[in-house]
Structure formats: structure tokens, C-alpha cells
Amino acid sequence: MADAIVTTAPFVLQLLDQRILPLKVEYIACRTHNDVADAIRTMVVRGAPAIGVSAAYGYALGAHEVTSHPLETLANHMQSVRTTLAATRPTAVNLFWALEAMEKACNALIPTATNTATVANALWQHACQLHQEDIAINRRIGAHGAALLPDHGGVLTHCNAGALATAGYGTALGVIRAAVEQGKRIHVFTDETRPFLQGARLSAFELMEDNIPVTLICDNMAGVVMRQRKVQAIVVGADRIAMNGDTANKIGTYTVAVLARENNIPFYVAAPVSTIDPQAADESDIVIEERDPREVTHCGGVQIAPHNVAVFNPSFDVTPARYISGIITQHGIAKAPFDESLREHLNQSL
């Protein structure tokens, strides 16, 4: 399967255009931080970990824009770069985590650097390191989460938390991939995930590419699938996790979690520690992005709703911690009380 994030020399970030998958596989070349910001904003690249890695490369590209400038001017320029990238998507906390890591690296490099080019080259290497670390983290998440899935049975997922949403392998789909690699016979049910159809376009595409059995269902079919006992576990990704375990993920996740509780099916969240926001005590501290009404009124560019109809289009919702059976990170399975277990996982990453 095509990688979502590819780097090419000299210092070009290639992002798989996920807006046109699965019918076309095309890459968009990003040569400046504004190119990366636009790609994140318009959902060329999406998924919290992938957004974070892309932002790291965008930050490094920002430094490469001014390699001919005096070193003394770099700090102010990089602050502008960070501000531009940070303004793209407000909910995915990995974006801000990656920018903070890159800014920290930049500030450490400047005092001993001989010129701006030296800093820019080092920042690019740091972004490459974050890229590879994300893939390794996803594989560890998969290894921990695979034990939670049945040896034989159905697993439901919502949206796309796979290789396309990360630097590679995936979080929720990484758990499924790891279970299949262990020999478990898993059949995946994926919600279409209106309005952007990440489940229909992306998760189904990924799973079919890996020859993992998958059935696509409409979002409003999830309850029937659960009630008919076609699934024995649910695993989703996350865009931001508060310290009490409240979890923001793609709109519709909360509905799935409530249905899972009604049907006594375990509901798991898979995400790297970088998705945990230590500044968010609970869901009241999570900003929910609202997107263009045309995503709801149109499908594939075709209008499907009346002209001038009022539209409410939040991109995410928050699943309260009480509905979550466990949060799978690279350090294992965090369980209630989440304020204690998540803190332990954060401390292991210090």
C-alpha cells in the first residue's frame, strides 16, 4: 500500500492526497511550511499522528526557506512558522506535541550553530526521526492491543486510524494488523464515517490491500451489527485524550461507544502517548473543530441537500471515559481510573 508520508531530496515532503482515495493514488509535493499547512487544513493528510509528523516536516521546511538569512533572524521566523502550522487543525493534539518537540530542538541548536543552514539540516533529520519513531510506536501499540481481540470473530472500527492516519502501520488498524499477524481470524466491520467517509474510502481500502476480511456498513448500521453479535470488540483511534480518559475522536465515535455499552461489547481506544493532553482535565478542555457545511450538503461534489439548509458539522465528538474499556498506548493498556494510569504512561515517555 502507498505510504501516506514520503520524503524526497532535496527537502521535499510528499503527501498522499487522501481526498481522492481510493479511486486515485496521487502525491502532493510540499516544499514550504505553507504548503504543509494547506495540506493539513484541506485534509490532504489527516489522522492525528500523521498530522503531527507532517507538521514536524513543515517546521523543518520553514527553516530551509531562510538558509541564506543571518542566524540571528531564525528564531523570529520559526515562531511565525509554528503559528501558521498550529492554526491548521485545533483538535488533534499531536500537531501541537510535534511542533513543541521541533521548537525545543531548534532552540537547542541555535546557540552553537554556525549558520542557518546547519540548523535547518538538523531539524529535517529530527523530523525524520519523529517519523520513524511513530512507526515503531504504532507497532508497539499493535502488539499490546492484539491480545484484547478475539481469536476468531468480528471487530468494528470507526473512521480511519490506520497506516494512512499515521506515519505507518496504524493505531486502531495497527491493533487489528498485529492480531492477524499473530494468526487470529479477524473480520472487520468498518463504519463509512460520514461526512468525509474515511471508513468507506480509507479503512476499507487499507484492509483490502492487506487481505484482511472487511465489511463496509453505514454509520447507522453499527447498532444492528452489535445486537446480532457480529462483533466481539471495538477499537478506534483518538485525536485528543484528556487526563480523565475522555477521548475526542471522529464524529460518531460517541454513538458507537454508547451502543457498545448497551450490547456489552468492549470498546477500546488505540493512540500514542502524544495524543494524551496533560493540559486537558476532561472533555471541557477539548476544542472541537467545525468544518465546511459543504461536507454535509455535498457528496463527491454532488449536492444532496436543499439549498441554504442549516448545517451542523462538528468534525469530532467526545466519548466519556466511563464508556472506554481501555486505552492502548505504546506502554500497554491504561484502564480506569484513567487519571492514574494515563499519568503513568506519560511518565514512561519522559
Q: In the predicted model, what is the mean pLDDT of the chain?
A: 97
Specify whether 121 is located in the same domain as 194.
no
Residue ranges making up the domain that contains 329:
148-348
Residue at which a domain ends, from 88, 109, 139: 139
Specify whether 282 is located in the same domain as 206.
yes
Specify whether 87 is located in the same domain as 106.
yes
Specify whether 15 is located in the same domain as 121.
yes
Which of the residues 239, 246, 277, 317 is marked catalytic? 239
Residue at which a domain ends, from 114, 139, 164: 139
Instruction: Identify the CATH number of the domain in which residue 110 sits.
Output: 1.20.120.420
239 has catalytic annotation? yes
pLDDT at 191: 98
Q: Is pLDDT at 1 greater than 80 in this prediction?
A: no
Number of structural domains the chain divides into: 2
- Strands laid side by side in the 332-334 sheet: 214-217, 185-191, 152-157, 233-236, 267-270, 326-329, 332-334
CA 316 to chain centre: 12
pLDDT at 350: 83
Specify whether 112 is located in the same domain as 158.
no
Helices and strands (H, E) in the chain, number of each type: 12, 15
Instruction: Identify the CATH number of the domain in which residue 262 sits.
Output: 3.40.50.10470
pLDDT at 300: 87
Specify whether 233 is located in the same domain as 322.
yes
**pLDDT tens-digit readout, 267-285:** 999 999 999 999 999 999 9
Specify whether 172 is located in the same domain as 300.
yes
Specify whether 123 is located in the same domain as 156.
no
pTM: predicted TM-score of the whole model, two decimal places: 0.95
pLDDT at 299: 93
Specify whether 213 is located in the same domain as 302.
yes
**pLDDT tens-digit readout, 159-218:** 999 999 999 999 999 999 999 999 999 999 999 999 999 999 999 999 999 999 999 999
Give just the sign of the alpha carbon dihedral 204, 206, 43, 252: positive
Specify whether 10 is located in the same domain as 109.
yes
Residue at which a domain ends, from 103, 121, 139: 139
- Tell me the pairing of strands 185-191 and 12-16: unpaired
